[in-house]
Chain A
């Protein structure tokens, strides 16, 4: 909100809004502060409003380009799945809907998987595509997550999952629900391999997606203002017959309630992730202590000195990092 919108009567505001929305593709209006932003500036700012920091939706490919070092990454093909096993039809045929979204997005399903380096660390990154049927979770997405987990395990690389979804894909019925345990297995595979699994919750993440792989991360990061919850706000309002408090189910709220480790602005995400991934993937690398620990006289502390010495500084001379099988990671430092 700026001072102008505070003093302008709603009717007048509406007139201007209609004018500014019509046809002009060079500019985008921020849905939060109504500021008009030049599209090129918006892209350069990763679709975050330069005036109010509102995080708008960002295209999946743009996100991956921005995340991976030098914008370089390899796309992993989604496994093929049975198409429309229920022969589902609502007001439209499911196969028609699928075709429509495939054409619109150029993707096979609501997830894109990439592998590349994030701040020097080879990482498998999966991004849910909200533009593809609301990022809904069906068999294609479930198999995609399993595939991404397998890729992470075979490369001994961390797995970073960007969530964005309205929940289950109803057109796949029970097979959609079964992706909750199936994606949970994918997370277990990564964890059992001793690899970090980091979730980045983006706007919105709700339903069965939140209640499975989105809430099982070693670390949960979230973008500012992202709506994150199990039940949608409308359903809750209908159930409790009350208006929900301001900020309910937003990233900051989940942080306060202990469900999210950090709310990270999009522009800082790469750096935050990089730091986390370096720490997690190099935890086994032993470094020589900078100085000899002081010997103390009493027995208690002499026990302590027999433990591995604290890492004072990452030491590059030790190359066995426990990840990196393909040599991609050598330039990390």
Chain B
């Protein structure tokens, strides 16, 4: 059963008519083939028109789509012998961030990423992808391990943000994020980061300060969620009951194309027509190809060269290519 987003209603209607006709095709002897193919062409065009003109707020809902591929789907589709490793070795295990070594297209690679979960049970288990300090400290541990075994690190980002809870604060959420970012920047292995869904604030950047930063076409990456931004900067309008999150999404320029233009990311990985959720398998392959290329480009650099490249890349953000 496909979940349609609000703005996909006209597409949903067309597709349900096509389904109805298919049903008739079997039961009656009327020839509906022509009508079906006519509607299919129309539906494809509508889908393509809609998805090439998504507003940033619509992209936000695509990025959060319940059927969008998650970390575990990429691991299953792209790797062999993935061994999930658990725990930060000082307090606990946080399943909002999953990670471990695996074989990926002929190489050993360390995969780290946020996992939001798919159903109620797994969402609770993964805390909806909002990590606590233990998650970031586990990520640090895995990055250090990768460095020791000269393995590239691939991080897949998909989080609304780090978890704002009492225990998380108590155990040093800010310190964990800061140190994880520092680890990314000082890593002697290639680090390739892909924003696959939501790149929410510090909780995202903590594992995304890579040599190569990419985004899936309809993913978003922002300093605060559109809702959070609206509640602070549009306080009056929000208090009157107006939803200003769409305005905040527009103003903050959170789409992949914006970030490429601002020089914050290096590459956009295009999604299948109608978004990643329409063709999960193709999305996974495309991400795999982009990651493989990036690893190939970086794997011959020395640890020092990798650190230097990363540092220059981040120092150039805002200095180069802005009006």
Contact A176–B251 (Cβ < 8 Å): no
In the assembled complex, 5 residue pairs joining A and B whose CB atoms fall closer than 8 Å, in A order, are A82-B323, A90-B234, A146-B315, A168-B223, A213-B178
Q: Are A174 and B253 in contact (CB under 8 A)?
A: yes
Q: Which residues of A contact B170 (CB under 8 A)?
A: 257
A-side residues, CB < 8 A to B, are: 81-82, 85-86, 88-91, 139, 142-143, 146, 168, 170-178, 180-182, 184-185, 187-188, 207-208, 210-216, 228-231, 235-236, 239-240, 242, 244, 248-249, 257-259
Q: A242 to B172, alpha carbons, bound, how many Å? A: 20
Could you tell me if A230 and B252 are in contact, using CB atoms closer than 8 angstroms?
A: no
Are A229 and B317 in contact (CB-based, < 8 A)? no
Contact call B185/A184, Cβ cutoff below 8 A: yes
| In the bound complex, CA of A168 to CA of B185 (Å) | 20
Instruction: Closest B residue to A89 by CB, please name it.
Output: B251
Total number of A-B contacts with CB less than 8 angstroms?
168
> A-facing mask of B160-176, CB < 8 A → 1, else 0?
00111110111111110
Q: Compute how far the CA of A91 lies from the CA of B206 in the bound complex, rounded to whole angstroms.
A: 31
CB distance from B311 to the nearest CB of A (A): 5
B252, A181: Cβ atoms closer than 8 Å: no
Chain B: how many interface residues by the 8 Å CB criterion? Answer: 53
Tell me whether A230 and B182 are in contact in the complex, defined as CB-CB below 8 angstroms, given that A173-B254, A185-B314, A211-B202 are known contacts: no
Contacts of B162 in A (CB 8 A): 211, 230-231
Question: Does any Cβ of A come within 8 Å of B205's Cβ?
Answer: yes
Nearest-neighbour CB distance to chain B for A31, whole angstroms, equals: 23
Q: Are A181 and B314 CB-contacts (below 8 A) given A90-B251, A211-B174, A235-B164?
A: yes
Proximity string of chain B (223-260) to chain A, C-beta cutoff 8 Å, 1 when within and 0 when not: 11000010011101100000000011001111000110
Please give, as numbers and ranges, the residues of chain A lying within 8 Å of B318 by CB-CB distance.
81-82, 85, 139, 142-143, 175, 178, 182
User: Which of these, A89, A177, A258, contacts B201 with CB under 8 Å?
Assistant: A177
Name which residue of chain B comes closest to A228, CB basis: B174
Q: How far is the CB of B152 from chain A (nearest CB, A)?
A: 19
Asked whether, in the complex, the Cβ of A248 is within 8 Å of the Cβ of B179, the reply is: no
Across the interface, do A188 and B223 meet the contact criterion of CB distance under 8 Å?
A: no
B60 contacts the other chain (Cβ, under 8 Å)? no
New A-B contacts (14) at CB < 8 Å, excluding given A139-B318, A143-B318: A86-B253, A170-B223, A170-B252, A173-B252, A184-B209, A207-B202, A211-B174, A230-B164, A230-B168, A230-B174, A230-B177, A235-B164, A239-B164, A242-B166
